[in-house]
Structure 1
Amino acid sequence: MSDGGERVGGGPVADGIGRLTADGAPFAVEDGTYAHGPRTLREFVEATWAYGDRTFLVHEGARTTYREFFDEACGLARRLLGAYGLVPGDRVALALRNLPEWQVAFWAAQLAGLVAVPLNAWWTEGECAYALDDCAPRALLVDGERAGRTRAWARKRKVPGIVLHGPAGEGFDAYVPDRDPHLGPPPVDVLPEHDSTIVYTSGTTGRPKGAVATHLAQAGAAMNPRYFAAAAALARGDVPGTGPAPVSLTTFPFFHVAAFTSFYGVMAAGGTLVTMRKWDAGEALRLIREHRVTHYAGVPTTALQLLERARSDGDPLESLTLLSTGGAPAPPGIVAGLTEAYGERVEPRNGYGLTETCGGVLAHFGAEYRAHPGSAGRPSPTTEVRIDRPDARGVGELWLRGQSLVRGYWEDEEATRAAFTDDGWFRTGDLARVDADGRVSIVDRLTDMVVRGGENVYCVEVEAALHAHPDVLDAAVLGVPHPVLGEEVVAVVRRRPGTAPDPEALRAHVGGSLAAFKVPARVLVREEELPRNPTGKILKRELRGLFEGGEPVGREAPGRG
């Protein structure tokens, strides 16, 4: 890839891409945006009303149709502008678990021209207060548990709160649904350039930042999964848009952009979204059987746990046709395991996206994903890819530009200037390369790459080698200080139940496929899960403390494992 930002394409699905993006085709592009897509999220959600009595949401046995959902979202939108006096452009914070009311609240904000601010449902009271102080919402939409974490802030700032699920408690209003089918959404103008969402980054490297997306950006994000689904159908030899509507068990937390990619795709097709209040592999299998789930969407960790539980239970996952992962890098072995268990019946799909891209902008699926499991796939038609300052291997920082990118960070000009170039390129902070046929492979995070004695070691590559060992359930590779080399490579491995892998054997296994300088000097084997944030990213800063003082290879840290 040159240093100048060429569009990526070509390869085995090039003919299909041409058919989808040609002039007049559903995914044609004009001036960098989808020519025939919605221009706002209000326009996008209004179209779903046509699905009428189809089931949209399933939660703990209760079903909500598209018409019921839309009428209720319209009612809440009217209430926010009427009874609460909000005006288009005001921020409204959402703090709920994966409940049907989350969808009602989010889309009510879009119908009212308000800016939805989804808060991390796992945040503490202090973390919620930080984000609320930052974005200064004029209303809070919460569930009973999050009401307790936001009540003091709302009382101090005199901001009204509505508890959409659970007991309201002191100072907050109880939610009374308004499902009048005749009134529709409030009569406000929602334009493509208006702000639609503020989504906070995960904060794994510092304080979370509020990434601000316009309606045009989110509308592009809503088109991307539709395009990738159509491209996947063509690659299989199917006609896009035919066949039954998807039934998706989406386990991403709704506040995360990976969930946006999932539910946008489901809604566009008139499909059904099956939700879980809390992840549990056994419960997920039960829901898949009961509701004839066709699509599974979640972080790689939950997907691996699902496949492991299905294997141990002898569950054939007979209704499943797609297993899609996102939110964190997928170990290459996940594809091999899926193919070994289910052949080509269950299509694997993964991709790449960030909070700043409003969800997935690269995708990899089907036969091509099986053939190249280490790749993140190809970009959407409205996404440009550039590799900045590539080295001899073609590896450099991945830069992106396109319709679905955010316009910057909320009231943080310094962070915005640091992340975006003057001509609109976003510096992702990820190291990547582009193969000759246009596939993009994410090599590592800039901050995760270990420089050992002048040699670059990409942690993702070493993690993939460890994942290939049959006794390894999970792995994290990181760098720790070394007095001579500058940094040394170390690893933390979670063993598969019933196994006892020897650290030296694991090092030898890595050395069988990688150069000696990439082999971890120390390997810590343990039984407990690796620390992750709610969206599945490993918290390597917590693991570095395990190696303080230079523990010998394989030694268990006190109280660990």
Structure 2
Amino acid sequence: MTSGPVIALSPAWPATTLAEATARLTAPGMKFEMEEVAVRGVPTRVWKNTPPSLPWLLTAARAHGERLLTIYEDERVTYEANFRATAALSAHLARAGIGRGDRVAIAMRNLPEWIAAFFAITALGAVAVPLNAWWTGGELAYGLSDSGAKLLIADGERHERLLAHYADLPSVEAVLVARATTPLDGHATRLEEVIGTPHDWSALPDAALPLVDIASDDDATIFYTSGTTGAPKGAVGTHRSILTNILSSGFSAARSYIRRGEVPPEAAPRVALTVIPMFHVTACSAHMMASIATGSTTIFMRRWDTVRAMEIIERERVTLTGGVPTIAWQLLEHPDRDRYDLSSLEAIAYGGAPSAPELVRRIYEEFGALPGNGWGMTETTATVTHHVAEDYLNRPDSAGPPVAVADLKIMDADGTTELPVGEVGELWSKGPMNARAYWNKPEASATTFVDGWVRTGDLARLDEEGFLFVVDRAKDMVIRGGENIYSIEVENVLYAHPAVTDAALVGIPHRTLGEEPAAVVHLAPGERASEAELQQWVRDRLAAFKVPVAIRFSEATLPRNANGKVLKTELRQLFAD
């Protein structure tokens, strides 16, 4: 059985306008009531009931008790067990000298330890620095050096990648390693010596979190993104930034009920199969915060496997999955889908990559589940718009309307003229979810973060009702299955090859991943290099998802306009079928 009964959609939809739905939900005394506060000196609408800090949320969530927080293979961690592990780890970090404002990095795959580490760090007023677990050792070392991390919590695989780099990272005073498979030496300690394995957490002593006075606008996170300069930039988020998504998610869901003419139900625990990495704001903020607030269960997989995912959905009665469109496509098109009972699925939500209107329709028709999408970025700590249910089915090419605390505007290239409805320009976004700045990059911060607004670099338009349509990216970037690949980073690696004198990276369409990276290179006279050789050259220096899937060779230097910019539209034609 592949799906349950198709969720009935009201023929009278919409029963109310977006504005009317928002007014009802945000009225005084309602759960989604708003107020205006000064955030870094800028008057900003915020959810009045947003939790004040991450340790406040963790302590409140302890009330979920024996409900399961995470499932990973045979490890089933309850909310109570997670709290005990987090409290123990936080106390250990405090004894190690970690305090307010110190940066502590996390470099590991999706594991129960990731959540405990994140909350243990932020409970001290320290700043959690989630690093991309797909990065090479050199890329991880850059993140540690750039952030000035004082301590690293890593899994065994990431620790092994960094062994050759620790000597060049004097700021890293200690390393805690989870699930190490080789002997540790130097300043590394097994995390299990501090808190045991997840199987042991429920037996840890009952202890409170350290008492630290934390304000909503104190720094909490540094999530790394990349820019057109090629160097990753750390977007500094606050406790308010990351916790805003709890009510943003709830508001969007409630708005869909109001639009349908129904009374929104109280938030209930869900079971989510989460396959997007926790080092992304989508998983950490948009998913994890709301999940913990509602007492929901998050299931991790070591790696994505469609058959294994369907087995988990059937066995654990998963109600929500997704992450990027790739996941939905693979579930829809797997030849063995009919062998599994996927009827528990209520929603398949994703973001971070373009999705085809066909996918929206098929999720609803074949799974009986409601599709969900949205728009956000690292600099906005994920969610700014949400697109769900009938609104998404009726506008499948939109990213949805903004949540009530967010403002969007479309600006001309001059950065001062706001464009009218329907015109395409640069998308600017404002709201309490915005990061405050880039870490130690004042010039880049001044360009991107302007009077409470984030200049996104996306080219977009808004329609009469405020629905967002992203039409292109002003920033030179390829998005492969939700992973950002900045062209200049790959181009610089290709340029470093002794045979290459000209190079450009472009995105080519891919049905399930959205797009993939491909390169065009021009070799120096008399030099030779094969496609495989150049792909290996990139693979040795960058994460695997950044390696061009195809490389074409141009006999002439690459075409450029009068300003010297490569005409990538012409280059994409080289990869047309």
TM range (shorter): 0.7 to 0.9
Could you give the per-residue CA deviations for residues 179-234 of structure 1, whole angstroms, max 9, x where no partner exists? Answer: 54432101111122211000000457611100001112222233322322332344
1:408 alignment partner in structure 2: 437
Distance 1:373 1:547, change over 3 A: farther
Q: 2:66, 2:90 → 1: CA distance? A: 21
Q: CA deviation at 1:165?
A: 2.5
Do structure 1's residue 22 and structure 2's residue 27 form an aligned pair?
yes
- Opposite residue 185 of structure 2, the aligned amino acid is E
Do structure 1's residue 173 and structure 2's residue 189 form an aligned pair?
yes
- Aligned partner (choices 135, 139, 160) of residue 147 of structure 2: 135
> What is the number of equivalent residue pairs in this alignment?
474
Q: CA deviation at 1:103?
A: 0.7
Identity of aligned residues (%): 38
Q: 1:538, 1:333 → 2: CA distance? A: 25
- Aligned partner (choices 317, 330, 335) of residue 360 of structure 2: 335
Distance 1:194 1:552, change over 3 A: closer
Distance 1:214 1:332, change over 3 A: same
- Opposite residue 317 of structure 1, the aligned amino acid is L
Could you give the per-residue CA deviations for residues 454-497 of structure 1, whole angstroms, max 9, x where no partner exists? Answer: xxxxx99xx9xxxxxxxxxxxx9x9xxxxxxxxxxx9845589x
Do structure 1's residue 160 and structure 2's residue 174 form an aligned pair?
yes
Q: CA deviation at 1:87?
A: 1.5
Do structure 1's residue 385 and structure 2's residue 413 form an aligned pair?
no
Q: CA deviation at 1:340?
A: 3.1
Do structure 1's residue 38 and structure 2's residue 51 form an aligned pair?
yes
Q: CA deviation at 1:244?
A: 4.4
2:314 alignment partner in structure 1: 289
1:396 alignment partner in structure 2: 425
Q: CA deviation at 1:542?
A: 3.9
Whether the aligned pair in 1 keeps the contact of 2:311 and 2:340 (CA below 8 Å) is no
Could you give the per-residue CA deviations for residues 303-335 of structure 1, whole angstroms, max 9, x where no partner exists? Answer: 211221267545452110000001222222210
Could you give the per-residue CA deviations for residues 414-460 of structure 1, whole angstroms, max 9, x where no partner exists? Answer: 10011122x221100001111112211111101469xxxxxxxxx99
Whether the aligned pair in 1 keeps the contact of 2:66 and 2:78 (CA below 8 Å) is yes
Could you give the per-residue CA deviations for residues 241-297 of structure 1, whole angstroms, max 9, x where no partner exists? Answer: 437411000111000011021112211111100111111111111111111000013
Q: CA deviation at 1:155?
A: 4.5
- Give matches, 1:492-507, under 5 Å: 492=508, 494=510
1:442 alignment partner in structure 2: 470
Distance 1:543 1:71, change over 3 A: same
2:525 alignment partner in structure 1: none
Q: 1:142, 1:94 → 2: CA distance? A: 6
Distance 1:552 1:206, change over 3 A: closer
Whether the aligned pair in 2 keeps the contact of 1:285 and 1:310 (CA below 8 Å) is no
2:87 alignment partner in structure 1: 74
TM-score, normalised on structure 2? 0.75
- Aligned partner (choices 364, 370, 373) of residue 347 of structure 1: 370
Partner of 1:379, secondary structure, is coil
2:559 alignment partner in structure 1: none
Q: 1:96, 1:33 → 2: CA distance? A: 32
1:206 alignment partner in structure 2: 230
Whether the aligned pair in 2 keeps the contact of 1:310 and 1:316 (CA below 8 Å) is no
Distance 1:267 1:386, change over 3 A: same
Q: 1:537, 1:299 → 2: CA distance? A: 18
Distance 1:199 1:491, change over 3 A: closer
The gaps in structure 1 that reach 5 residues or longer are 1-9, 450-458, 464-475, 479-489, 497-530
- Identify the range of structure 1 (142-151 vs 242-251) with the bigger mean alpha-carbon deviation: 242-251
1:258 alignment partner in structure 2: 282
Distance 1:236 1:283, change over 3 A: farther
Whether the aligned pair in 1 keeps the contact of 2:422 and 2:462 (CA below 8 Å) is no
Partner of 1:318, secondary structure, is coil
Could you give the per-residue CA deviations for residues 390-429 of structure 1, whole angstroms, max 9, x where no partner exists? Answer: 38951111001110101100010010011122x2211000
Q: 2:421, 2:21 → 1: CA distance? A: 32
Do structure 1's residue 376 and structure 2's residue 399 form an aligned pair?
yes
Do structure 1's residue 121 and structure 2's residue 133 form an aligned pair?
yes
Whether the aligned pair in 2 keeps the contact of 1:226 and 1:268 (CA below 8 Å) is no
Q: CA deviation at 1:152?
A: 4.0
Measured on the aligned residues, the alpha-carbon RMSD in Å equals: 3.4
- Aligned partner (choices 159, 168, 181) of residue 147 of structure 1: 159
1:467 alignment partner in structure 2: none
Partner of 2:387, secondary structure, is strand
Could you give the per-residue CA deviations for residues 499-550 of structure 1, whole angstroms, max 9, x where no partner exists? Answer: xxxxxxxxxxxxxxxxxxxxxxxxxxxxxxxx99xxx9996x9478437459
Partner of 1:187, secondary structure, is coil
Do structure 1's residue 364 and structure 2's residue 387 form an aligned pair?
yes
- Opposite residue 114 of structure 1, the aligned amino acid is A
- Aligned partner (choices 460, 475, 494) of residue 432 of structure 1: 460
Distance 1:492 1:243, change over 3 A: closer
- Give matches, 1:89-108, under 5 Å: 89-108=101-120
Distance 1:310 1:431, change over 3 A: farther
Q: 2:345, 2:267 → 1: CA distance? A: 14
Q: CA deviation at 1:30?
A: 0.9
Q: CA deviation at 1:50?
A: 0.8
Whether the aligned pair in 1 keeps the contact of 2:222 and 2:237 (CA below 8 Å) is yes
1:546 alignment partner in structure 2: 552
Q: 1:418, 1:259 → 2: CA distance? A: 27
Whether the aligned pair in 1 keeps the contact of 2:269 and 2:294 (CA below 8 Å) is yes
2:567 alignment partner in structure 1: none
- Identify the range of structure 1 (296-305 vs 73-82) with the bigger mean alpha-carbon deviation: 296-305
- Opposite residue 150 of structure 2, the aligned amino acid is R
Whether the aligned pair in 2 keeps the contact of 1:143 and 1:166 (CA below 8 Å) is yes
Whether the aligned pair in 2 keeps the contact of 1:382 and 1:402 (CA below 8 Å) is yes
- Opposite residue 104 of structure 1, the aligned amino acid is A
Distance 1:287 1:549, change over 3 A: farther
- Identify the range of structure 1 (393-402 vs 368-377) with the bigger mean alpha-carbon deviation: 393-402
Q: 1:152, 1:226 → 2: CA distance? A: 45
- Opposite residue 208 of structure 2, the aligned amino acid is G
- Identify the range of structure 1 (308-317 vs 387-396) with the bigger mean alpha-carbon deviation: 308-317
- Opposite residue 427 of structure 2, the aligned amino acid is L
Partner of 2:160, secondary structure, is helix
The gaps in structure 2 that reach 5 residues or longer are 1-14, 37-44, 196-200, 413-418, 488-505, 513-537, 557-569
Q: 1:63, 1:272 → 2: CA distance? A: 10
- Aligned partner (choices 214, 234, 244) of residue 190 of structure 1: 214
Whether the aligned pair in 1 keeps the contact of 2:411 and 2:426 (CA below 8 Å) is yes
Q: 1:134, 1:249 → 2: CA distance? A: 33
- Opposite residue 341 of structure 1, the aligned amino acid is E
Q: 1:88, 1:420 → 2: CA distance? A: 24
Q: 1:76, 1:349 → 2: CA distance? A: 36
- Opposite residue 124 of structure 1, the aligned amino acid is T
Q: 1:435, 1:310 → 2: CA distance? A: 39
- Opposite residue 173 of structure 1, the aligned amino acid is T
Whether the aligned pair in 2 keeps the contact of 1:101 and 1:165 (CA below 8 Å) is no
Distance 1:18 1:169, change over 3 A: same
Distance 1:189 1:372, change over 3 A: same
Whether the aligned pair in 2 keeps the contact of 1:154 and 1:160 (CA below 8 Å) is no
- Opposite residue 447 of structure 2, the aligned amino acid is A
Q: 1:119, 1:42 → 2: CA distance? A: 21
